[in-house]
């Protein structure tokens, strides 16, 4: 899975490492997510394009990087410390 931020970046980099390990642990290794820092597979700001074009099956990015490509991205990404995930689900 290509990332738009390096794995060693405090905060956003730590979350995807935790998720990757949790998926591996809870499936007894049946589901493994290989993580790739920006530029290893695709550039940092091209993660969503790579998923859309089926170059990769998944990606981890900040939706704000896709303003202009995804019409709703400013609404979701523009507010720091915005809604929690379950609130977004209810809102949609």
pLDDT band at 88 (very low <50, low <70, confident <90, very high): low
Burial of 28 (0-12, 13-18, 19+ CB in 10 A): exposed
Which of 88, 70, 68, 90 lies closest to 79 in space, CA to CA?
88
Confidence band, pLDDT 50/70/90 cuts, at residue 12: confident
Which residues lie below 8 Å from residue 30, measured CB to CB, with a gap of 6+?
Answer: none
47: confidence class by pLDDT, cuts 50, 70, 90 = very high
Q: Which of 8-17, 27-36, 72-81 is the most confident on average? A: 27-36
Residue 31 pLDDT class (50, 70, 90 cuts): very high
Coil/strand/helix, residue 10: coil
- Closest Cα partner for 32 from 77, 1, 6? 1
Q: Where are the domains of the chain?
A: 12-91
> What band does 79 get if pLDDT is binned at 50, 70 and 90?
low
Q: What is the pLDDT of residue 57?
A: 95
């Amino acid at each position: 899975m290509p990332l738009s931020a390096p794995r060693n970046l405090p905060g956003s980099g730590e979350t995807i490492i935790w998720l990757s390990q949790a998926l591996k642990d809870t499936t007894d290794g049946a589901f493994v997510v290989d993580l790739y820092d920006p530029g290893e597979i695709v550039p940092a700001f091209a993660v969503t394009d790579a998923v859309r074009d089926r170059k990769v099956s998944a990606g981890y990015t900040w939706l704000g990087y896709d303003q202009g490509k995804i019409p709703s991205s400013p609404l979701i990404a523009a507010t720091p410390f915005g809604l929690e995930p379950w609130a977004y689900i209810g809102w949609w």
